[in-house]
Amino acid sequence: MRADRLVAAVLVLQARGRVTAAELAAELEVSVATARRDLEALSSAGVPVYAQAGRGGGWSLVGGARTDLTGLTEGEAREVVWSVARATSTGAVSPELRAALRKLVRALPEPMRERAWAATNSVVVDPAGWGRSEGGRPEVLGLARRAVVSRRVLRLYYGGQREPRVVHPWGLVEKGDFWYLVAGTDAGRRTFRLDRVREMEVTGEAAERPEDLDLSRVWDEIVTEVEGRRSGAEATVVVESRFMWVLRRQFGRHCTVVDEAEARVRVAAHTPRSVAEQLAGWGAMVAVVEPESVRVELARIGGELVARYGG
């Protein structure tokens, strides 16, 4: 455990140039006394570490000594960091994995480290879909990733638009089975679904990105805005417990558990008819408790099906 901490200490010195024992302790999540002992141990072991006393002092590597502990190419490092960043963005990872990501990035030489840091705050994974499952890996995802990490302006043709859009990429979001690009434009922040991009070009122009950007927070704002427009009608539904996860996956964030024991949930869509259309395929496996408007729409759909196929 201490060997890992000593390596991490070297990487912190390498990245920052000079740190105090207190700063190192905060970075490694140990006591100041432990950080000071580690620094002294490095010096005793022959690592060119020295201390400078007084205001503005601290511990440094003599002559800016450096070490590359990875042996990774820039492309390999970017792929590893991107993959780990995707995992950490879900919040379902161990502290050890987060620590490993920090160590890996610090071990990279410049300018690889700068681009690796950019990747760590450029991707969000939102597992809750928007009720669709026809997505996949869009062809332009690789170009979008390169533009995000290298901070380069993108020129793209979106949807049925005839003129190209020039955008400043901020980050990428994997939501359910779809990928989204969050970007700045002349008209403000915009979101682009990558499978709707017909053509994309990474330009040589440097992209602008807010320095204090928190991509997760920005995405939460976008989801709140979108779902506010999509969830105008709600219905309380009872479903067999073993199928509750399927219903939650179908409606994504538009599905809220009301009573786990009774398998009672609340689902939403933009109209009562759209709620009924999404529930109709469940047949008798779900029971709509309320409102009456959704029950009426389900009866109408059932009547149409019986009229066409009942004979």
Domains and CATH numbers, the chain: 2-64 (1.10.10.10), 74-120 (no CATH), 141-227 (2.30.30), 231-309 (no CATH)
Q: Which of 178-182, 223-227, 249-253 has the highest mean pLDDT?
A: 178-182
Asked if 5 contacts 31 with a C-beta cutoff of 8 angstroms, the reply is no
- Cα dihedral 270/274/280/286 (nearest 10): 10
Q: What is the pLDDT of residue 78?
A: 58
The encoded tokens of residue 269 equal: 């869509």
Residue 105 has pLDDT above 90, yes or no: no
What predicted TM-score, i.e. pTM, was given to this entire model? 0.53
Q: How far is CA 186 from its chain centroid?
A: 24
> Which element (helix H / strand E) includes 201?
strand 197-206
Asked if 240 contacts 263 with a C-beta cutoff of 8 angstroms, the reply is yes
Residue 1 has pLDDT above 60, yes or no: no
Q: What is the pLDDT of residue 129?
A: 63
Name the least confident of 111-125, 181-195, 286-300.
111-125
Name the least confident of 24-33, 58-67, 139-148.
58-67
Asked if 239 contacts 265 with a C-beta cutoff of 8 angstroms, the reply is yes
Residue 208 has pLDDT above 70, yes or no: yes
Q: What is the pLDDT of residue 63?
A: 56
* Average confidence (pLDDT) over 271-297: 90
309 vs 289: CA distance, rounded Å? 27
Residue 10 pLDDT class (50, 70, 90 cuts)? confident
Residue 254 has pLDDT above 90, yes or no: no
